[in-house]
Amino acid sequence: MIIVRDAQESDLPAILDIYNDAILNTTAVYSEQPHTLQMRQDWYHDRRTDNFPVFVAEAEGSVAGFSSYGHFRVWPCYRFTVEISVYVTASQRGKGIGKLLLQPLIDRARKMNMHAVIAGISADNEVSLRLHQSFGFVEAAHFKEVGFKFNRWLDLKFLELILD
């Protein structure tokens, strides 16, 4: 059974492990250096200060994934737009956990009177693209060769969901 709940500070080591795996082994994060626990703690506290959600999916007592959103851009006129992130631990991918983590983000964005939700996804990440499209996200931009990781150029797509 998988439970989605608000993250707690005690979840941060597991969140860090999932995020660092994404950095080191995937194109889901356009970064090459693993983060530290202090960096994840700062990230978590920034989310809490801004009243932005951080959710975890718990499977068999372990954190199997996490999701959150933050500011799309820092300028005031973007205040009704957020950018989301969804990550699932490698051993739990393909089990529907991403869907379970994405819906509460959309629900919370609506509750917070957000107007637009943006997802920045590496163009080679077909699974994530399909996941977001299944929730009504549409491609809004395709940036060619804007990232360089694993000795190759990466395209970045922005998908957008306009909320009711």
What is the arithmetic mean of pLDDT over 81-104? 96
pLDDT-derived band at 164, boundaries 50, 70, 90: confident
22/25 Cα distance (integer angstroms):
5
Q: 35 is in which domain, residue-wise?
A: 2-162
The CATH number assigned to the domain holding 81 equals 3.40.630.30
Which residue, among 89, 37, 85, has the nearest Cα to 60 in the 3D structure?
A: 89
- Give me the helices (H) in 11-164, please: 12-25, 37-49, 97-111, 126-134
Q: Quote the pLDDT of residue 120.
A: 98
**What's the pLDDT score for residue 28?**
96
* Rounded Cα distance, 121 and 95, in Å: 20
Mean pLDDT value across residues 124-145: 98
pLDDT, one tens digit per residue, over 57-91 is: 999 999 999 999 999 999 999 999 999 999 999 99
Say how many domains are in the chain.
1
Number of CB atoms found within 10 A of residue 3's CB: 11
DSSP classification of residue 34? P
Residue 26: φ, ψ to 5°: -140, 175
Percent share of the chain, pLDDT over 90: 98
Percent of the chain with pLDDT over 70: 100
Read off the pLDDT of residues 20-65 as tens digits, 9 standing for 90 and up: 999 999 999 999 999 999 999 999 999 999 999 999 999 999 999 9
Query: Distances from the Cα of 109 to the Cαs of 9, 40, 124, 144, 152, in angstroms?
Result: 22, 22, 27, 29, 35
pLDDT band at 142 (very low <50, low <70, confident <90, very high): very high
Q: Which helix (H) or strand (E) holds 120?
A: strand 116-122
The Cα–Cα gap between 118 and 162 comes to 9
Instruction: Answer yes or no: is pLDDT of 130 > 90.
Output: yes
Q: What is the pLDDT averaged over residues 2-27?
A: 98
pLDDT band at residue 161 using 50, 70 and 90 as cut-offs = very high
Residue 50 pLDDT: 96
